[in-house]
């Protein structure tokens, strides 16, 4: 199994407003990456609500906005090196008031959003140019640090993972299968 750069097991903390968690600074070279989180939104998000997010000028980060967020429809979106690339597919709308594992994989030429929940697994891929990123990252869990009050995730997050490579669909599904019982999914 792949080893994550960051691992945050949060025991289902409630996030809203200015309530969030922050990882420690880490210098990374990312030509590919995977972000994974277990989330349970309590409402539709307002837009660009950070799940796992780093931005230059916040927490010592020096790389432009990078990470996974939920859009106003609860669709999975992302920023990569200060470029907003919201995927927001109708296939990856995260349901309110239930646990789901969400994931985002980034390669030089694509982005894939993943929604894994009790009723099934959905992977949606997009052709996108994503340049390699290098610098100091400090990931905020549960908000986008540019505006933590209005871009805060509202709900619960239990686990957050960041990998320095794009995991395969099989690897992501294996992580889901190994953890789903903890979240009441058979």
HEC letters along 109-157: CEEEEEEEECCEEEEEEEECCCCCEEEEECCEECECCCCCCCCECCEEE
Distance CA 15, CA 69 (A): 14
Residues ≥6 apart with Cβ < 8 Å to 174 = 1
User: How far from the centroid of its chain's Cα atoms is residue 16's Cα?
Assistant: 16
Instruction: Find, among 33, 61, 46, 23, the residue nearest to 140 by Cα.
Output: 23
d(CA 84, CA 114): 18
pLDDT interval class at 5 (50, 70, 90): low
54 half-sphere exposure, CB direction, 13 A CA radius: 27
Q: Residue 186 — very low, low, confident or very high, per pLDDT cuts 50/70/90?
A: confident
Question: In the predicted model, is pLDDT for residue 12 greater than 90?
Answer: no
**149/119 Cα distance (integer angstroms):** 32
What's the pLDDT tens digit per position in 31-43? 999 999 999 999 9
Tell me what pLDDT residue 3 has.
64
Tell me how crowded residue 129 is: count the other CB atoms within 10 A of its CB.
Answer: 11
CATH number of the 6-168 domain = 2.60.120.200
- The Cα–Cα gap between 158 and 180 comes to 12
Q: Nearest CA to 118 among 60, 74, 180, 75?
A: 180
- pLDDT digit string, tens, across residues 79-88: 999 987 766 6
**How does DSSP classify residue 181?**
G
* pLDDT category of residue 76 using cuts at 50, 70 and 90: very high
Instruction: Taking residues 113-137, report their average pLDDT.
Output: 93
Segment 48-76 mean pLDDT = 93
């Amino acid at each position: 199994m792949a080893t994550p750069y960051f691992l945050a097991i949060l025991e289902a903390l409630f996030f809203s407003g200015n309530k969030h968690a922050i990882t420690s600074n880490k210098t990374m070279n990312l030509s590919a990456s995977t972000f994974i989180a277990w989330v349970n939104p309590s409402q539709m998000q307002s837009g660009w609500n950070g799940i796992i997010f780093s931005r230059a000028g916040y927490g010592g980060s020096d790389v432009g906005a990078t990470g996974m967020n939920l859009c106003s429809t609860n669709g999975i979106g992302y920023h990569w090196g200060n470029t907003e690339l919201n995927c927001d597919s109708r296939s990856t709308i995260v349901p309110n008031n239930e646990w789901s594992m969400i994931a985002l994989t980034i390669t030089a030429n694509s982005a894939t959003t993943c929604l894994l929940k009790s009723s099934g697994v959905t992977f949606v891929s997009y052709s996108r140019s994503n340049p390699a990123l290098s610098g100091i990252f400090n990931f905020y869990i549960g908000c986008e640090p540019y505006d933590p009050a209005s871009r805060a995730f509202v709900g619960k997050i239990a686990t957050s993972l960041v990998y320095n490579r794009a995991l395969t669909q099989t690897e992501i599904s294996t992580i889901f299968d190994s953890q789903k019982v903890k979240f009441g999914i058979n």
